[in-house]
Structure 1
Amino acid sequence: MSKVEAFRALHHGRLPGDPLVLPGPWDAVSARVCAEAGFPALATPSAGIAASLGHEDGSTPPDEMFAAVARVVRAVDVPVSADVEDGYGLAPKELVERLLETGAVGCNLEDSHGGELKDPRQHADWLAEVRAAAGDLLFVNARIDTFAHGDGDPERAIERAALYVAAGADCVYPIGAPADVLPLLRSGIQGPVNMHARLDGEGPSLTELGELGATRITFGPGLLRRSAQALRATTDELRGQR
């Protein structure tokens, strides 16, 4: 079984309460730590990589993002999916080629740009072109930004999800959706649903998110921020020893 086939299989046949948990490494070291912990796959966060490279979220040059993803992929044997924001304005064929060059088996693709939602039908057409260019070589996670940059109406999110799934998306990601609307989203969406989870103890547990309908769970730049907090505590301790 190829890595992309293994990654796709991880999203299917899951029991309620047992979502696929994908940590978000931002470099080779963090990727190795996550893989050695036993996670079956990883998902790079664009915001985490941006921070590690000294950029604001959303402003990482594409060449730097693809290079960072490639370093993560080279560091581990497990499948890696890459958050490549809204595709950086690349034509679908070029976007797919650059993703495959990194060794990634999947990607997140946002339906907003600059904080504004894209027209869902036009975005669906673009996703269909990505799917056609990728064939079965990439697992496409279509991010839905209705809750992040829209009016937060679950029905609008479900409508967008239907368009994206019809266009060939393997999974949809209603980022920012409150946990209490997850059952409604789950009932109206065909296929796997990605949810974001926090690492500060706030909100439902991973098991609870799975029971509410999440197929897979990611953390955005949460691991990077948690690591930065730990590093700050260590450096404060070192300063205190002077």
Structure 2
Amino acid sequence: MNEPASVFRALHQGRAPADPLVLPGPWDATSARVFEDAGFPALATPSAGVAAALGYADGRTPAAEMFAAVTRIARAVSVPVSADVEAGYGLPPAELVERLLEAGVAGCNLEDSAGGVLVDPQRQADRLAEVRAAAGDRLFLNARVDTYIHGDPAAVDVVEETVARARLYAEAGADCVYPIMAPADGLPRLAGAVAVPINALGTPDGPSAVRRLGELGAARITFGPQLQRRAADAVRDLAARLLGR
């Protein structure tokens, strides 16, 4: 039987440009089952969406509660699940890997900023290398690059900084890099400069929007907390109808 990480890793390979891997983001066990039943081959939890479901602001979820929620999601479905664990909650790499494997996930996101400040890229690469060494092939490692949300365009060339970080993280053992909020027209340059798949942040507006990102170079599309927020909007509309508004 194939290990979940191997199955998940294979889903990223050999994608046609118009057919990127689409990973919806469940925030609880029920939403995870809905996405699996719809036919998605894998899922990727959003930390902000899970935080909202647990009653926390983004970035404020205690590690124990995040891992418990991710465990419930992974146990609810038979497809591979990747977990967004923000910057790793200060856990040493070996302990972080142990917690992820105990949760039953196939991969994780790790971001290169803390408290809204970018981490030194070599320091982050060293951490990613330690996570890779501890995990071996048992986890698919998606390295988030936060230059477009926390970089200073007045101080650096954001595109060059993004490419440099992405290359460094790939060399450290990342399976995929995620330049979150990178503009769509910048994806071809990023995809051409990095040897591993590119994860792009998409909008849940249908297949054509996803296909376009794939054609521009993204091999994988995630949506952050957008699906959870749309679900919350639907509940809000239902509440209004119940009140006759």
- Given the two structures, how large is their TM-score scaled by the length of structure 1? 0.97
The structure 1 segments of at least 4 consecutive aligned residues displaced by more than 3 Å after TM superposition are none
Aligned amino acid, residue 180 of structure 1: D
Residue of structure 1 equivalent to 2:86 = 85
Instruction: Give, in whole Å, the separation in 2 of the partners of 1:200 and 1:186.
Output: 23
Matched residue SS, 1:208? helix
Task: After TM superposition, list the pairs within 5 Å mapping 1:17-96 onto structure 2.
Answer: 17-96=18-97
Task: Select which of 221, 228, 238 maps to 1:224.
Answer: 228
Structure 2 spans left out of the alignment, 5+ residues: none
Instruction: Give, in whole Å, the separation in 2 of the partners of 1:17 and 1:95.
Output: 35
Task: Select which of 158, 171, 179 maps to 2:163.
Answer: 158
Instruction: Give, in whole Å, the separation in 2 of the partners of 1:168 and 1:226.
Output: 34
Instruction: Give, in whole Å, the separation in 1 of the partners of 2:152 and 2:211.
Output: 28
Structure 1 spans left out of the alignment, 5+ residues: none
1:126, distance to aligned residue in structure 2 (A): 0.6
**Per-residue Cα deviation, 1:188-230 (whole angstroms, up to 9, x for no partner):** 11110000012367xx700000000000000000110010111
Task: Select which of 182, 191, 194 maps to 1:186.
Answer: 191
Matched residue SS, 2:149? helix
Instruction: Give, in whole Å, the separation in 2 of the partners of 1:112 and 1:211.
Output: 29
1:151, distance to aligned residue in structure 2 (A): 3.0
- What is the number of equivalent residue pairs in this alignment? 239
Residue of structure 2 equivalent to 1:234 = 238
Instruction: Give, in whole Å, the separation in 2 of the partners of 1:218 and 1:200.
Output: 12
Instruction: Name the % identity.
Output: 64
Instruction: Give, in whole Å, the separation in 2 of the partners of 1:225 and 1:97.
Output: 31
1:4, distance to aligned residue in structure 2 (A): 1.1
Instruction: Give, in whole Å, the separation in 1 of the partners of 2:146 and 2:152.
Output: 10
- Given the two structures, how large is their TM-score scaled by the length of structure 2? 0.95
Aligned amino acid, residue 13 of structure 1: G
Matched residue SS, 2:243? helix
